[in-house]
């Protein structure tokens, strides 16, 4: 934790909010943010351009009651604000297995956050749903993958905001000036050299979530500068890298030298300072990281029970790739594809029909590891998501096997494990 500073300086508008000048909800939010800022050692608050709320996911009645209290106090967000996944699929009723009191409270939570003026995006990938703050802008984002993408790929600035502090920042349009909001915290302290890896490995789509899983476990919350990767990397691959790194560790920012906006070269990424550590990646390191993404050592041809993809939510391009890989075939096992309503809205009727004909169950507004969607806690799930692989066993009780999207499709069609191991052998 940072050393506390002597004084948190507030501007006139901030003092007015603290005194109740903008209503009871803003006053309550301001008190919470100010107390958090003092605990974190902030010298001031920064104005934010937007927010993304993680606290809208139902984990218990307290979160619902807090949101409803803000509504009752007249709360309204002060900046454009999107919502992370909730506990309900509001498009496919009955897909989520919440019932009774829990289902009712989850529904109340969705209504409360919309009443606060939040955009009902219900996605963990707001950056692919039109919410893309500019380079250098301060924002207050929750949800681990959204945070790391915002900082790393967009070059906007957010700390790792937890539940309920995020909505408080949104209500007052301010955030504590700590962590990744500050220049010095964004400088790389570790250099990761991927230049010695085989080209075929770096071109494999599974390389990016595996690299992320390795990065999170090995560096924790440090800011790394990765050298030796291509200068142009598809956004979905950077998304997968960051999501895995934020799941296995506390990564809130990484730089890919020559690719991401704050790292035109290694010197800039490190702020001119020498890194504290340098690591040369090897294939063996990444094979080890890949192995940790499976909790069940299935042999080739062994039965699988389900496939789950889309954490972070599938982009439109990823849905198109899924359709191409299916090529008119049908899955023999339950196949969940999690995405946002912004992607569903962009799909044609014939594409939605083709997914249904292939046995693909679209999950919208939520995902399979944050709310009960699976029928029970038994069986083996295959995924191409480093984040799903990390959370599947503890959150659902099901074992998981990791592979590429192509592996997932071929396994689903066959009803048994099919993995192309050539790149990794």
Q: Which residue has the higher pLDDT, 1 or 117?
A: 117
**315 and 285 in one domain?**
no
Cβ distance 416 to 303 under 8 Å? yes
Residue 5 in domain: no
* Residue that is last in its domain, among 181, 198, 221: 181
Banded model confidence at residue 3, pLDDT cuts 50, 70, 90: very low
Quick one: pLDDT at residue 4? 45
Mean pLDDT of 231-240: 98
* Residue that is last in its domain, among 133, 165, 181: 181
**20 and 155 in one domain?**
yes
For 362-388, b/e burial (b = at least 16 CB within 10 A) is bbbbbbbbbbbbbeeeebbbbbbbbbb
**201 and 177 in one domain?**
no
The per-residue pLDDT of the chain, averaged, comes to 96
Cβ distance 92 to 363 under 8 Å? yes
pLDDT in tens, 65-99: 999 999 999 999 999 999 999 999 999 999 999 99
Residue 87 CA, chain-centre distance (Å), reads 16
Residue 397 in domain: yes
pLDDT in tens, 128-157: 999 999 999 999 999 999 999 999 999 999
* Residue that is last in its domain, among 292, 324, 350: 292
**280 and 242 in one domain?**
yes
Residue 97 in domain: yes
Indicate whether 2 pLDDT > 90: no
Mean pLDDT of 147-172: 97
Indicate whether 303 pLDDT > 70: yes
**41 and 158 in one domain?**
yes
Residue 195 in domain: yes
| Rounded Cα gap, residues 265 and 217, in angstroms | 25
**197 and 177 in one domain?**
no
Could you give the number of structural domains in the chain? Answer: 3
**263 and 151 in one domain?**
no
Give the residue carrying structure tokens 């050692």.
Answer: 41
- How does DSSP classify residue 318? H
Residue 300 in domain: no
**369 and 350 in one domain?**
yes
Where in the sequence is the domain holding 255, given as residue range(s)? Answer: 187-292
pLDDT in tens, 180-232: 999 999 999 999 999 999 999 999 999 999 999 999 999 999 999 999 999 99
345: its two tokens:
């809205």
pTM of the full predicted structure? 0.96
**170 and 204 in one domain?**
no
**354 and 264 in one domain?**
no
pLDDT in tens, 375-387: 877 899 999 999 9
Helix pair angle (386-396, 235-248), 10° resolution: 40
Q: What is the DSSP string of 207-258?
A: HHHHHHHHHHHHHTT--EEEESS-S---HHHHHHHHHHHHHHS----EEETT
**176 and 37 in one domain?**
yes
Residue 83 in domain: yes
Quick one: pLDDT at residue 259? 98
Cβ distance 155 to 183 under 8 Å? no
pLDDT in tens, 30-65: 999 999 999 999 999 999 999 999 999 999 999 999
**117 and 196 in one domain?**
no
The CATH number given to whatever domain includes residue 331 is: 3.30.499.10
């Amino acid at each position: 934790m940072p050393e506390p500073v002597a004084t948190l300086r507030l501007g006139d508008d901030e003092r007015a909010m603290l005194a109740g000048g903008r209503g009871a909800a803003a006053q309550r939010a301001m008190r919470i943010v100010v107390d958090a800022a003092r605990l974190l050692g902030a010298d001031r608050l920064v104005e934010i351009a937007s927010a993304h709320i993680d606290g809208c996911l139902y984990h218990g009645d307290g979160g619902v009651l807090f949101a409803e209290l803000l509504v009752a106090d007249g709360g309204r967000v002060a900046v454009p604000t999107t919502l992370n996944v909730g506990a309900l699929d509001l498009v496919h009723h009955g897909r989520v297995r919440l019932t009774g009191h829990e289902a009712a409270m989850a529904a109340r939570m969705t209504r409360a956050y919309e009443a606060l003026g939040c955009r009902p995006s219900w996605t963990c990938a707001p950056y692919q749903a039109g919410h893309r703050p500019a380079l250098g802008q301060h924002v207050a984002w929750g949800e681990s993958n959204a945070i790391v993408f915002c900082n790393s790929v967009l070059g906007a600035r957010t700390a790792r905001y937890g539940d309920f502090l995020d909505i408080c920042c949104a209500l007052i349009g301010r955030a504590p000036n700590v962590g990744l909001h500050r220049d010095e915290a964004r400088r790389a302290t570790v250099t990761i050299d991927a230049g010695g890896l085989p080209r075929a490995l770096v071109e494999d789509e599974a390389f990016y979530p595996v690299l992320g899983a390795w990065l999170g476990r090995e560096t924790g919350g440090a800011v790394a500068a990765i050298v030796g990767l291509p200068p142009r990397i598809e956004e979905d691959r950077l998304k997968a890298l960051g999501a895995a790194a934020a799941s296995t560790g506390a990564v809130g920012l990484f730089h890919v030298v020559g690719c991401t906006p704050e790292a035109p070269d290694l010197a800039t990424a490190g702020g001119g300072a020498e890194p504290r550590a340098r690591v040369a990646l090897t294939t063996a390191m990444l094979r080890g990281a890949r192995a940790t993404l499976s909790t069940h050592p299935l042999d080739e041809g062994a039965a699988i029970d389900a496939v789950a993809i889309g954490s972070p939510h599938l982009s439109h391009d990823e849905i198109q790739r899924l359709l191409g890989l299916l090529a008119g075939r049908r899955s023999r096992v339950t196949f969940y594809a999690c995405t946002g309503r912004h992607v569903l809205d962009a799909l044609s009727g014939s594409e939605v029909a083709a997914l249904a004909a292939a046995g693909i169950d679209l999950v919208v507004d939520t995902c399979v590891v944050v709310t009960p969607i699976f029928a029970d806690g038994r069986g083996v799930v295959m995924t191409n998501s480093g984040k799903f692989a990390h959370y599947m066993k503890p959150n659902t009780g099901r074992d998981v096997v990791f592979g590429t999207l192509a592996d997932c499709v071929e396994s689903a069609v066959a009803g048994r494990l099919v993995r192309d191991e050539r790149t990794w052998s």
